[in-house]
Amino acid sequence: MNTLDTITPQKAAAHHAAFIPTPPSDQFKRAVKLHQQGDLAMAEFMYRQILREEPDYIEVTYLLGLLANQTGRPTEAVERINKYLEVRPDDAQATSILGLCYFDLKEYVNAVSMFEQALEMNPGVVHTMQNLAKAQFKIEDYAAARQTHESVLALLGQDVEAMIGIGLCNRELGDYEAALGMLEHAIIAEPRRAESHFYYGNVLRDVKDFHSAIDAYGTAITLNPNYLEAYANCASCLKDLGLMTEAMAFYDSALMLDPTHAEANYNRALLLLNNLKLEEGWRLYERRLDSDTSVGKFLGGQRLRLAAEWHGYSQPNSLLVINEQGLGDQIFFAGMLPDLANQVPGATVCIEPRLAPLFKRSMPTLNFISPDQLEGKRFEAQIYLGSLGKLYRKNTESLSAIQSSYLVADAARTAELRTKLKNPEKLVCGISWLSKNADHGQGKSLSLEALNPVLQLSGFDFVNLQYGDTAEERDAFVQQHGVNIHNVDEIDNHNDLDGLAALIGACDIVVTVSNTTAHLAAALGKPVIVMLPNNDALFWYWHRDSHTTPWYPSARLFRRSDSGRWEDVIDAVALTLAGIQ
């Protein structure tokens, strides 16, 4: 949502000039005139000169605050306008402008408070209501923002800005049908407004209507050929459809408009890595560290800078490797930690705490800590875990360094579980069928019922490797089909990842969807069949056109067809397992 330019400097300056309690001096009038005409430097000089002569001239203090915000100094603006409001607390417009200053400082909670106070003093002021809605949106109070936009719409009868705002709020609230409906109203009201088509495309992409989303982005680009975000999002839609060449062309178009655009560079990197164009791919992959989306999702909301960045050329006395992304990704990138251990033995690796016991056993020359153990520690250099690729997997030749098993399960625990599970006449097959990924989990998941053709194979005993509470689904399946999926109660598949690794080690083979279990089984070198989604939920390291991946030598890949149906994948997995039972 774009900041609304609802109060012009000319209007604000004129407003406060009209409320001077005593006849204004000629110097004050000239300063206000210069302010209104846009000669801000001279206006500021004259305001300051007046204050030197009359320090209590509170209206000049306010106008200097307004001018400070106009010239990109919101902190100074807040200080001066607050000082003015101590004397004139009932000035609704000044309170509203203070809200804009807080908005510019990204202090959105304070902005909301100021706009609400301004509306209490002067109800029904549309521009203040519009700005309040923007600030409410920023603090993720989407229901309140929607209500404020609806109030604006009720006052004005028809307002495209309010329609767009309601549509965006509905999207964030997960009401995609209402979001599409309101954005359609905005498009009808003002069909040549490019951003309405862009936001409409975003919602269509949310509901997986990729072809319609591409059409919407295309309309936005036609209306505004320099619409960078439309090019980038259209490229991502094309990527979601598996149209890689077309996606690359649109990312290139976005980068022609802004070569530094983090999101476009990052997504272009994923395409390059998917095609094993590793050198350029890893170089651009560094832009994830500048991407708002990546920082918000994978870096805990901020990019840590605890030491100088390490580029692999030296051997620092103390090196910190910082964890990022989800559990599965940390396991994936850990495949390069043995290379790091050879170059910098004793390096400290910050990881998700649940991985610590397994990683410590597997790579004993490295020091593993959790994020809450970082406080007070000092390091000579740092690198993010995902950045190890640019050092150790620079080209396709370097892929030969990948170890088929770089994680080591607890041997004693594995042997104990193997004794408990093994039937001499059957193979032990671990299964996992759900992904909890917030964005793509639904597209990567299936049900036990869908897996019935696999679970009916008589040569296997099936063991539950799925994290989360699956008891109800497993009970229903055994009642309906008579097939029991054995659950090892003493292992918490979600929290005890070292125990889950031992349980995987006790299996002869693993069948799983794309989730943490898939990464864990492959990193342990266990024969693993990975049932993959198509297109938008398919992560780059699973590639698209092969039944194998160089990153996990023990994995065999089965992809869902473009039709989106799992049946063909499950039938193929059943035939494969039938051949080895």
With respect to residue 335, please indicate whether it lies within any of the assigned structural domains.
yes
What contacts 24+ positions apart, CB below 8 Å, involve 143-147?
143/169, 143/173, 145/169, 146/170, 146/173
Q: Region 182-189: what's the mean pLDDT? A: 96
- 397 vs 281, 311, 401, CA distance in Å? 15, 20, 8
Domain that holds residue 526: 411-578
**pLDDT for the residue 5:** 41
d(CA 63, CA 240): 51
d(CA 306, CA 383): 10
- Residue identified by tokens 């299996």 is 507
Residues 386 and 424 in one domain: no
With a cut of 70, say whether residue 302 has pLDDT above it: no
- 473 vs 14, 433, 448, CA distance in Å? 69, 11, 7
Alpha carbon 501 to its chain centroid, in Å, reads 28
With a cut of 80, say whether residue 564 has pLDDT above it: no
Last residue of a domain, one of 401, 430, 463: 401
**pLDDT for the residue 21:** 43
Helices (H), ranges, 173-306: 176-189, 194-206, 210-223, 228-240, 244-257, 262-274, 278-285, 292-298
Kindly state the tokens that stand for 512.
């799983």
**pLDDT for the residue 56:** 83
- Residue identified by tokens 């910098």 is 344
Q: What is the CATH number of the domain that holds 104?
A: 1.25.40.10
**pLDDT for the residue 507:** 96
Residues 499 and 396 in one domain: no
Residues 106 and 178 in one domain: yes
Residues 455 and 359 in one domain: no
For residue 441, name the pLDDT band (cuts at 50, 70, 90).
low
Residues 419 and 459 in one domain: yes
Cα–Cα nearest to 110, from 82, 151, 72: 82
Last residue of a domain, one of 175, 209, 236: 236
Q: Region 107-119: what's the mean pLDDT? A: 95
Residues 355 and 461 in one domain: no
Last residue of a domain, one of 236, 259, 282: 236
**pLDDT for the residue 560:** 82
Residues 330 and 446 in one domain: no
Mean pLDDT value across the chain: 89
For residue 506, name the pLDDT band (cuts at 50, 70, 90).
very high
Residues 16 and 87 in one domain: yes
- Residue 212 backbone phi and psi in degrees, to 5: -65, -35
With respect to residue 261, please indicate whether it lies within any of the assigned structural domains.
no
With respect to residue 298, please indicate whether it lies within any of the assigned structural domains.
no
Kindly state the tokens that stand for 17.
């000039």
Q: Do 114 and 98 meet the contact criterion of CB atoms below 8 Å apart?
A: yes
For residue 439, name the pLDDT band (cuts at 50, 70, 90).
low
With respect to residue 167, please indicate whether it lies within any of the assigned structural domains.
yes
Q: Region 108-112: what's the mean pLDDT? A: 95
Residues 486 and 461 in one domain: yes
**pLDDT for the residue 376:** 84
Kindly state the tokens that stand for 285.
């992959």
For residue 481, name the pLDDT band (cuts at 50, 70, 90).
very high
Residues 56 and 96 in one domain: yes
> Mind listing the pLDDT tens digit for each residue in 202-222?
999 999 899 999 999 999 999
- Relative to beta strand 319-322, strand 348-350 is parallel
With a cut of 50, say whether residue 18 has pLDDT above it: no
Report the percent of the chain where pLDDT is more than 70.
92
> Mind listing the pLDDT tens digit for each residue in 22-62?
456 788 888 888 888 888 889 888 888 888 888 888 888 88
With respect to residue 241, please indicate whether it lies within any of the assigned structural domains.
no
With respect to residue 257, please indicate whether it lies within any of the assigned structural domains.
no
With a cut of 50, say whether residue 199 has pLDDT above it: yes
Please give the single-letter amino acid code of residue 524.
Answer: L
With a cut of 50, say whether residue 2 has pLDDT above it: no
> Mind listing the pLDDT tens digit for each residue in 306-360?
899 999 988 899 999 999 888 999 999 999 999 999 999 999 999 999 999 999 9
> Mind listing the pLDDT tens digit for each residue in 77-90?
999 999 999 989 99
Q: Region 477-492: what's the mean pLDDT? A: 92
Q: What is the CATH number of the domain that holds 547?
A: 3.40.50.2000
Give burial (CB, 10 Å; 0-12/13-18/19+) of 191.
Answer: exposed
> Mind listing the pLDDT tens digit for each residue in 386-412?
999 999 999 999 998 888 899 999 999
* 422 DSSP assignment: -
Q: Residues 335, 339, 341, CA angle at the centre, nearest 5°?
A: 105
Residues 471 and 565 in one domain: yes
Supply the DSSP string of 452-511, one letter for each residue: HHHHT-TTEEEEE---S--HHHHHHHHHHH---EE--TT--TTT-HHHHHHHHHT-SEEE
**pLDDT for the residue 3:** 37
For residue 171, name the pLDDT band (cuts at 50, 70, 90).
very high
d(CA 46, CA 36): 13
Q: Region 497-523: what's the mean pLDDT? A: 96
How many domains, in total, are found in the chain?
3
**pLDDT for the residue 44:** 86
> Mind listing the pLDDT tens digit for each residue in 154-170?
999 889 999 999 999 99
What stretch of H or E contains 271?
A: helix 262-274
d(CA 483, CA 477): 7
With respect to residue 143, please indicate whether it lies within any of the assigned structural domains.
yes
**pLDDT for the residue 32:** 85
With respect to residue 22, please indicate whether it lies within any of the assigned structural domains.
yes
Residues 106 and 175 in one domain: yes
Three-state helix/strand/coil letters over 342-400: HHCCCCEEECCHHHHHHHHHHCCCCEEECHHHCCCCCCCEEEEHHHHHHHHCCCHHHHH
d(CA 419, CA 157): 73
**pLDDT for the residue 298:** 58
